[in-house]
Chain A
Amino acid sequence: MRRVEELSAGAVRMGPGTLYGTLNRLLGDGLIIETTDRVEREDNERRRYYQLTANGTAVAHDELARLRNLVGQLSWLQPGLGSAGS
């Protein structure tokens, strides 16, 4: 959750329900799998590990292409908009 907050520069602050709800949905859609059983660590911290499936990777690439396409279209419609991040 902290990593998500860091990556989004504080724009996205997830709570536990949102995090596990999202994981549950990704699991249900077959985009990720749980790689290990629940691991109890020495410091009693609970951790579950997930991994992208092949279909999840393909969907992520498609989504990236879709977003790039969207930004490309916007840049074409509004010149200068796409160069804001570069």
Chain B
Amino acid sequence: MTARNAHLAVYRRMTRLYPSSFRQDYGEDLVALFAKQVDDESPGRVWARTIRDLAVSVPFQRLETHMNRPSSHLLTGVFGVLAATATLLALTLGTGPAMPVFLIVALFGSATAVWSWQTGQPVRADRAAGRSWWKVLLAGPALAAVTFAAMAVPWPQAMDLGDNAYWLVLVAFITSLTLAATGLLLGIVAVVDRRRALLEGQDWNRA
């Protein structure tokens, strides 16, 4: 075995310290890159750098792999099911006093499911997030319009919710108002931020 191959064999063994998923994706590339470095530089210098690299990147990859386990999907699923169950109970078994509890649980469950789903999504540019305020703003009146339409439609006797309809309409209107107010606030913040960024950009260019 040549000295070069011995270096590669040792490094290949050391790559086992990485999580298996990372090793499957990049194991051969790691070794190939290390081989190229050994060819180009003195092995001592390469090893000094590689040891530092392993000391930093192995714990980092392990931690990242541990943190990226699909817990957010589990959380999304659990709270999604909770919200769906609470909604179903509210529509079928809910009585006057129990109805608000079911609806609050449904709202809380769906909000947490959406939050955990968003947390698991890829990074988005702040600019993209700043642009979507109008969707929240429009969602409020849209929900109110749907509620009005639902109230205007003559429902069949089998689907009559009785007193529960009052609570549903109340929650829908409160939600639509909250959405409209949140959208408006987000819009104001986005416009102010945009204006400030433009001014700062001008200041920077002048400097």
CA distance A55 to B125 in the complex (A): 6
Cα(A18)–Cα(B60), bound, Å? 9
Give the Cβ gap from A84 to chain B, nearest Cβ, in Å: 12
Is the Cβ of A20 less than 8 Å from the Cβ of B53? no
Indicate which residue in A14, A17, A61, A83 contacts B30 across the interface (CB closer than 8 Å).
Answer: A17
What is the interface of chain B mostly: helix, strand, loop, or mixed? Answer: helix
Give the A-B pair count, Cβ closer than 8 A.
90
B166 touches A (CB below 8 Å): no
Whole-angstrom distance from the CB of B55 to the nearest CB of chain A?
A: 9
Q: Total interface residues on A, using CB and 8 Å?
A: 32
Chain A interface mostly: helix
Residues of B close to A17: CB separation below 8 A: 18, 30, 53-54, 56-58, 61
Assess the B57–A72 pair: CB atoms within 8 A: no
Question: Which residues 14-33 in A have Cβ within 8 Å of B in the complex?
Answer: 14-21, 23-25, 28-31
Give Cα A2 to B52, complex, Å. Answer: 17
Beyond the given A16-B34, A16-B50, A28-B122, please list 15 additional residue pairs across the A-B interface where CB-CB is below 8 A.
Answer: A15-B49, A15-B52, A17-B30, A17-B58, A21-B57, A21-B60, A21-B64, A24-B25, A24-B26, A30-B122, A31-B122, A45-B36, A46-B32, A48-B29, A62-B125
Q: Which residues of A contact B (CB under 8 A)?
A: 1, 13-21, 23-25, 28-31, 45-46, 48, 55, 58-59, 61-62, 65, 68-69, 72, 75, 82-83
Interface residue ranges, B against A (CB under 8 Å): 18, 22, 25-26, 28-30, 32-34, 36-37, 49-50, 52-54, 56-58, 60-61, 64, 68, 122-128, 197, 200-201, 203-204, 207
